[in-house]
């Protein structure tokens, strides 16, 4: 197997991984990535196929499962009860219970609140240059998730800190300090949710936590640990993905001067999908191999891991003509930004709704919005998002 010898923290790669993906893709669908010690899938066909092949999955094979280091125990406990890390039959049960509470009607009903929130945030924009990432792109999804879960909005900064600390565990620049901070924030987040869930059991409200408590599938309910894991996943996945999708989208629209497509009902959805395809917020997901098999010229053994490069798949020229060009009118074709198969992101409808609402309102209210500084991407691979977005209205 050919090799993709690329440091994921290299500044040039961080700022434009797509050029590196193109070189790799030209060599074949699977290349060995020594920095991750596993093969990586670079073509749309390979990523799409493995996402849907049940011989691959997220859960560690039983014989490979270990307790993990003691200093990471709080973080590992959350992970152990996360839908994201489960496979059937546990995944089927958890997902069914979550979808009973996280319905399309529930998500659609958030629209007026999101619209009002967007206007309120824009009303606070200063006259001088400011960071739109903090002032708008982060606030819309985080406050929306607070309201969805039913936790006080004043908790948003704390939830944000816990979320950042925990998802830093997936970044290429992870250190022991990263692990200690993630464990501490996991413990604090768990303690907060444990107390909050206890309150909701005796004082139900019209919120997601109450609906998750009430959800029942074939006589089973979510345990407290599963409730905590689900709430944390909703925040962490929802926040990280949507913040980056919004800010990457604003950057791209301003640089390409294509924001007018947001105001046309016929091109709003194509523009949102093109933002997600062109510069997705998450670039890599891994899978374990569950049985020996040969695929795309490589022989896999049970327990192997493979990296699925979502950002590379979205720029495959065999699926999208001129993939490195941002084309808001491009006909919608399923991309890999929200994964696929069994683990397709349950929060995808909410992320799309927030983008469909927040982007048109921003550009309608701020028609002269412009970049004040050249945006830079953070060294946070496999996430792909900006460190800031300095603009002027």
Q: Phi and psi at residue 130, in whole multiples of 5°?
A: -150, 170
pLDDT at 48 over 70: yes
pLDDT at 324 over 80: yes
- Write the pLDDT tens digit of every residue in 222-247: 899 999 998 998 888 777 889 999 99
pLDDT at 66 over 90: no
β-pairing verdict for 305-309 and 390-392: unpaired
User: Side by side, which strands form the sheet with 370-371?
Assistant: 130-131, 390-392, 370-371
What mean pLDDT do residues 134-148 have? 94
pLDDT at 218 over 90: no
Query: What pLDDT is attached to residue 195?
Result: 93
**Closest by Cα among 5, 72, 8 to 283:** 8
* Cα–Cα distance list, 295 to 71, 241, 311 (Å): 38, 30, 21
* Cα–Cα distance list, 67 to 169, 227, 252, 364 (Å): 17, 21, 43, 52
Model confidence band, residue 221 (pLDDT cutoffs 50, 70, 90): confident
Dist. CA 23–CA 31, nearest whole Å: 11
Q: Count of CB atoms within 10 A of residue 35's CB?
A: 14
pLDDT at 141 over 80: yes
- Write the pLDDT tens digit of every residue in 294-317: 999 999 999 999 999 999 999 999
pLDDT at 217 over 80: no
Q: Give me the count of residues in the chain.
A: 393
Eight-state DSSP code of residue 137: I
Model confidence band, residue 371 (pLDDT cutoffs 50, 70, 90): very high
Dist. CA 68–CA 148, nearest whole Å: 33
114-123: long-range pairs with CB below 8 Å, 24+: 114/140, 114/144, 114/353, 114/354, 114/357, 114/358, 115/357, 115/361, 117/143, 117/144, 118/357, 118/358, 118/361, 118/362, 119/361, 119/365, 122/361, 122/362, 122/365, 122/366
Topology given in CATH for the domain delimited by 68-280+335-392: Cytochrome p450 (1.10.630)
Both tokens of 364, joined, read 């309608």
pLDDT at 262 over 70: yes
pLDDT at 205 over 80: yes
Eight-state DSSP code of residue 206: S
Both tokens of 375, joined, read 């945006």
Model confidence band, residue 120 (pLDDT cutoffs 50, 70, 90): very high
Query: What pLDDT is attached to residue 144?
Result: 93
Question: So where are the chain's domains?
Answer: 68-280+335-392
């Amino acid at each position: 197997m050919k090799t993709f010898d690329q440091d994921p923290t290299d500044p040039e790669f961080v700022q434009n991984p797509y050029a590196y993906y193109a070189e790799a893709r030209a060599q074949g669908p699977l290349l060995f990535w020594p920095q991750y010690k596993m093969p990586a899938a670079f073509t749309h066909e390979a990523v799409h196929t493995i996402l849907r092949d049940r011989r691959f999955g997220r859960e560690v094979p039983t014989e490979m499962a270990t307790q993990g280091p003691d200093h990471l125990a709080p973080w590992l406990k959350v992970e152990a009860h996360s839908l994201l890390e489960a496979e059937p039959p546990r995944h089927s049960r958890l997902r069914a219970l979550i979808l009973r509470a996280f319905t399309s009607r529930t998500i659609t009903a958030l629209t007026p609140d999101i619209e009002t929130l967007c206007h309120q945030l824009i009303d606070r924009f200063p006259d001088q240059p400011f960071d739109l990432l903090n002032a708008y792109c982060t606030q819309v999804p985080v406050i929306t998730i607070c309201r969805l879960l039913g936790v006080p909005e004043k908790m948003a900064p704390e939830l944000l800190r816990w979320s950042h600390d925990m998802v830093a565990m997936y970044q290429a620049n992870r250190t022991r300090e990263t692990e200690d901070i993630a464990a501490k924030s996991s413990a604090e987040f768990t303690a907060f949710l444990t107390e909050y869930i206890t309150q909701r059991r005796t004082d139900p409200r019209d919120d997601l936590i109450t609906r998750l408590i009430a959800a029942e599938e074939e006589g089973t309910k979510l345990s407290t640990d599963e409730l905590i894991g689900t709430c944390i996943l909703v925040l962490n996945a929802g926040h990280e993905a949507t913040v980056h999708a919004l800010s990457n989208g604003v950057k791209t629209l301003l640089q390409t001067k294509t924001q007018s497509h947001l105001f046309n009902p016929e091109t709003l959805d194509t523009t949102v999908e093109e933002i997600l395809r062109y510069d997705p917020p998450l670039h890599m997901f891994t899978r374990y191999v569950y049985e020996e098999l040969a695929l795309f010229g490589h022989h896999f053994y049970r327990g192997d891991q493979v990296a699925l490069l979502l950002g590379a798949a979205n720029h495959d020229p065999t699926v999208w003509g001129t993939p490195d060009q941002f084309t808001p009118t491009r006909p919608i074709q399923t991309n890999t930004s929200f994964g696929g198969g069994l683990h397709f992101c349950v929060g995808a409808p909410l992320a799309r709704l927030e983008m469909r609402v927040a982007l048109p309102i921003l550009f309608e209210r701020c028609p002269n919005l412009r970049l004040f500084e050249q945006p830079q991407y953070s060294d946070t691979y496999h996430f792909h998002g900006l460190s800031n977005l300095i603009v002027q209205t």
